[in-house]
Chain A
């Protein structure tokens, strides 16, 4: 790097890219060179090391060999004893074997010789048996004993020999033992010695090996140091050289630097002023930005706070709502359940009530029927009761009259004339007013009949006859009341029967829905007139029309209704068109009656009105109309009966009664007195009897003072008192 940088020192940090590249290349080259040099150095040092290693290894091997040799020698030295012992043992065994063999041979020989001797002795025993001379025998015996002695001596000798041998072997065993002990001692000694020598030699060897390694290390160190020194020297030289170059270059650079400095300072000043202005501008901007920032920050903070609050509120409300929702859900569920329950209940109730209603209606009808029945029965009963009472009263009247006659004729002795008795001929109860109005149906039939007759052209006559009929039936009962249907007809004379008829027809046709379908079926085979009659009946019953009056009311209502409508229409028409034409049309329409389409509306209005009216009427009528019906007549009737005995007669009767009563009391007193006297008489007779008894009894005689005397006294007293009393009484 330094060598190349003479004219154009390439710097890694310079601005020129080419220069930088060149500098890097130089650096890499320098590094490679250094590495190569290092490798070479390492190679050489390795060689040295190997050499050194070889030296030390040699030393190790040498010492190893020496140790091995020592070991082998030592073990040989130690095992020598064992081998010697083995050899000796083997020799000993040989000897022992040999000795045993000899011994056995010797013993065998001995046995043989002794057997021979024994045979000789036993032979001699046979010879000795042949001898008879005692001397000879003694000689023989002696010789035998001698022979035996020799034999025994031989044996003994053998025994002693063997014992000797045994002793010798014992000695030998002891000796062997001793020697073996010695040998063992020797062996241990040698072992210890060997161990010692081995230890010392090991130590020596270790020391030597260490020495060799030390030397090796030292040599290595020296070599390395030398190498280092050389390298250092070379390096120093190079450094000095480069220093010189560097100084010269530094001078050059200093000049260059000075120039550059001047240039740069100028440039720097220029840039500085420019930058300062820039800075000022920027600072201003910064301040502005800061202000806006501050503002924004505050705003945002405020917003943030607000949002936070809201968020909190929201969460609270949310939770509340949630709770509410759940609660309401619960409530809803409960309500649903309740509703279903209620529905069921109400349905059931409804059903039960409809059933009740039906039942009640039935009952009501029954009641009505009963009512009617009872009314009839009541009327009957009333009549019967009336008759009975009437008879009774008549009886009483007749009796009263009879009694009156008797009193007059017998007691007073006067002439009696019967009073006038107009009611006695009359029988049965006073009839109430009866059917004041004919039923709606009857009027309807009438009306219908009227129609027919009208058609025939005898309208007037028939109307009169019907009126007469209706009136006659009523007159027949009451006699006085002549106002019947005819009067009704006259009353509602405003409505002509014709219109009524037409109206009824209309009703028949339009109000068919009020008739039951079954009825229609049943009616289908009947005559037209009859059919319409039946229909009307059902319609009337449905609408609640009962009387003829109602029918007329209906008719009147219809007419009125129509007129109203017409007026309305007229008004409309008048408004729309002219007035003259409408006046003529009016008449015609009046006869045309109500338009069929309006019938229903009219009917509806009528029923509502009618019902209201009737209700109010019913409340008034039901209580009043029935009771005062026949009271005055009855009273009159009954009073006429009661007044048959006049008040004058009654005063006569009263005075007579008083007199009779006085007479009667006197009579009763007299009868009482009669009874008393009767009783007293009887008492007197009884007492007389008793007294007689007492006086006549024997007891009296025995007594000092006979009671008779006393009695006489008492009797006197009593008699006196009685007489006194009697007198007093009198």
Chain B
């Protein structure tokens, strides 16, 4: 044994010359060679599979393979393969996770329905759209992606939309003019990406989040980077109308004013699936609010978010009118508007009639005692509202007392925010006590 060990390593060619000549010898060599192992020899199947993996781009074959071979090939596939090969062929989550991690690092897949593939395609499409420059980027780039990703994209969260690039000279002129309105008058050059070509083709799209603005512009700030033109609005509205599966629409910080709001609402009327509308941080005034109120009763909206706008009394009255007839809206957020007592009272009266609203936010709306009175009366009648936010209003001590009285007759309200409303400590404590009893009551009911 020792001899063989000694002889084998220095003179392998002799041994290799004719290993089959003497079966005994051959057997001994195999036994004694410490490095020899059957595992070293790659299996033919493995070789074939590696070959398939390396030539996958030229000749994709996956469905024909056995399940364990398939897994092997998928493991071997590089994430850099072109999407038109992989998109509709590979369903394996492992592969797409590899792609996502390679591209964006780790991400929370829970936000994408626990599907790495969906995550990949949504983020890929978002990237394309966010970097889309009108008149420069070829729309084909987006359209080519559509057949590949339409089956997987359910949500689009677009955090910026680039404006078209202008001539430097013109840009200077614009700089000198220092006016946003002037820029918008320049015509079609300021229009953003047209969603009309995309939305109707994404047949599974459910959520759309949009910001007409540039992210992280820093010191290159220009007003016209944040422009939402009328034409943009029109094309978007038409696109939204064509997208029948849309469930959630959010347009943030995009300077949506009354006119644009009206146009959007006009196109969103009778939308078959829209449930959530979020138009926060815009410039919607009373007329826009009236349009939204019209939409409320001609859709299945369950949640409406219009905080940080410029809705005043008349707009609030219109909304309240709609709310009094509505039977689907669950949450209404009107924080940071200028409703005033006029709107507050109207809303409170509407609340007395409404039987579906669960959450109402009226924070920072210049409300005062009359509204508190109306609300207390409404709370007595209402039995569905669970949460109400009245913070940052000057209800005053009388208002607080009135509210406390109204609350005492209510058994459903669980949450009532009355911070910074200048009410008594006493009534505040009373209110919190009532809330607590209501809470325990509901919990028992649940149990």
- Chain A residues in the interface with B (C-beta under 8 A): 76, 79-80, 83-84, 86-87, 89-90, 93-94
Indicate if B391 sits at the interface (CB-CB under 8 A).
yes
Contact across chains for B419 and A90 when beta carbons are under 8 A apart: no
Q: Assuming A80-B419, A83-B392, A87-B364, what are 19 further A-B pairs, CB within 8 angstroms?
A: A76-B419, A83-B363, A83-B391, A83-B417, A83-B419, A83-B420, A84-B420, A86-B335, A86-B336, A86-B363, A86-B391, A87-B391, A87-B392, A90-B336, A90-B365, A90-B366, A90-B392, A93-B338, A94-B366
Find residues 388-447 in chain B having any chain A CB closer than 8 Å to their own CB: 391-392, 417, 419-420
What 6 A-B pairs come out closest when comparing CB atoms?
A: A90-B364, A87-B392, A86-B364, A83-B391, A86-B392, A87-B420
In the complex, what residues of B have CB within 8 A of residue A94's CB?
Answer: 366
CB-defined A-B contacts under 8 Å, sample of 9: A79-B417, A83-B392, A86-B335, A86-B363, A86-B364, A86-B391, A86-B392, A87-B364, A89-B364
Choose one: B336, B391, B417, B419; the contact of A89 (CB below 8 Å). B336
CA distance A84 to B392 in the complex (A): 8
B413 to chain A, nearest CB (A): 15
A695 to chain B, nearest CB (A): 140
CA distance A90 to B336 in the complex (A): 7
Judged by DSSP, the binding face of B is loop
Residue ID in chain A nearest B338 by CB atoms = A93
Most buried by B among A76, A86, A93: A86
CA distance A84 to B364 in the complex (A): 10
In the complex, what residues of A have CB within 8 A of residue B391's CB?
Answer: 83, 86-87
A102 to chain B, nearest CB (A): 18
In the complex, what residues of B have CB within 8 A of residue A83's CB?
Answer: 363, 391-392, 417, 419-420
CA distance A129 to B196 in the complex (A): 68
A365 to chain B, nearest CB (A): 103
In the complex, what residues of B have CB within 8 A of residue A89's CB?
Answer: 336, 364
A171 to chain B, nearest CB (A): 17
What is the interface residue range for chain B against chain A?
10 to 19
CA distance A93 to B308 in the complex (A): 11
In the complex, what residues of A have CB within 8 A of residue B417's CB?
Answer: 79, 83
CA distance A79 to B335 in the complex (A): 14
CA distance A79 to B363 in the complex (A): 12
In the complex, what residues of A have CB within 8 A of residue B338's CB?
Answer: 93
Interface string of B136-165 (1 = CB under 8 A from A): 000000000000000000000000000000
CA distance A80 to B363 in the complex (A): 12
Residue ID in chain B nearest A76 by CB atoms = B419
CA distance A89 to B310 in the complex (A): 13
Residue ID in chain B nearest A84 by CB atoms = B420
CA distance A87 to B338 in the complex (A): 12
In the complex, what residues of A have CB within 8 A of residue B419's CB?
Answer: 76, 80, 83
Residue ID in chain B nearest A90 by CB atoms = B364
In the complex, what residues of B have CB within 8 A of residue A84's CB?
Answer: 420
B59 to chain A, nearest CB (A): 52
Residue ID in chain A nearest B308 by CB atoms = A89
CA distance A83 to B362 in the complex (A): 12
Residue ID in chain A nearest B335 by CB atoms = A86
A71 to chain B, nearest CB (A): 12
B251 to chain A, nearest CB (A): 21
Residue ID in chain B nearest A93 by CB atoms = B338
Residue ID in chain B nearest A68 by CB atoms = B439
Residue ID in chain B nearest A69 by CB atoms = B436
In the complex, what residues of A have CB within 8 A of residue B420's CB?
Answer: 83-84, 87
CA distance A90 to B340 in the complex (A): 12
A168 to chain B, nearest CB (A): 19
Residue ID in chain B nearest A87 by CB atoms = B392
Most buried by B among A76, A79, A90: A90
In the complex, what residues of A have CB within 8 A of residue B364's CB?
Answer: 86-87, 89-90
Most buried by A among B336, B366, B392: B392
CA distance A83 to B335 in the complex (A): 10
CA distance A94 to B392 in the complex (A): 13
In the complex, what residues of A have CB within 8 A of residue B336's CB?
Answer: 86, 89-90
In the complex, what residues of B have CB within 8 A of residue A86's CB?
Answer: 335-336, 363-364, 391-392
B204 to chain A, nearest CB (A): 34
In the complex, what residues of B have CB within 8 A of residue A76's CB?
Answer: 419
Find residues 316-356 in chain B having any chain A CB closer than 8 Å to their own CB: 335-336, 338
B400 to chain A, nearest CB (A): 16
CA distance A84 to B363 in the complex (A): 11
Residue ID in chain A nearest B435 by CB atoms = A72
Most buried by A among B335, B365, B419: B419
Residue ID in chain A nearest B440 by CB atoms = A65
A578 to chain B, nearest CB (A): 131
Residue ID in chain A nearest B439 by CB atoms = A68
A637 to chain B, nearest CB (A): 132
B142 to chain A, nearest CB (A): 35
A190 to chain B, nearest CB (A): 15
A184 to chain B, nearest CB (A): 16
A706 to chain B, nearest CB (A): 138
In the complex, what residues of A have CB within 8 A of residue B335's CB?
Answer: 86
Residue ID in chain A nearest B366 by CB atoms = A90
A545 to chain B, nearest CB (A): 114
CA distance A101 to B113 in the complex (A): 51
In the complex, what residues of A have CB within 8 A of residue B363's CB?
Answer: 83, 86
A181 to chain B, nearest CB (A): 15
In the complex, what residues of B have CB within 8 A of residue A80's CB?
Answer: 419
In the complex, what residues of A have CB within 8 A of residue B366's CB?
Answer: 90, 94
CA distance A83 to B365 in the complex (A): 12
Residue ID in chain B nearest A94 by CB atoms = B366
A170 to chain B, nearest CB (A): 13
Find residues 180-216 in chain B having any chain A CB closer than 8 Å to their own CB: none
B121 to chain A, nearest CB (A): 32
Residue ID in chain A nearest B392 by CB atoms = A87
B372 to chain A, nearest CB (A): 17
In the complex, what residues of B have CB within 8 A of residue A90's CB?
Answer: 336, 364-366, 392
Find residues 83-115 in chain B having any chain A CB closer than 8 Å to their own CB: none
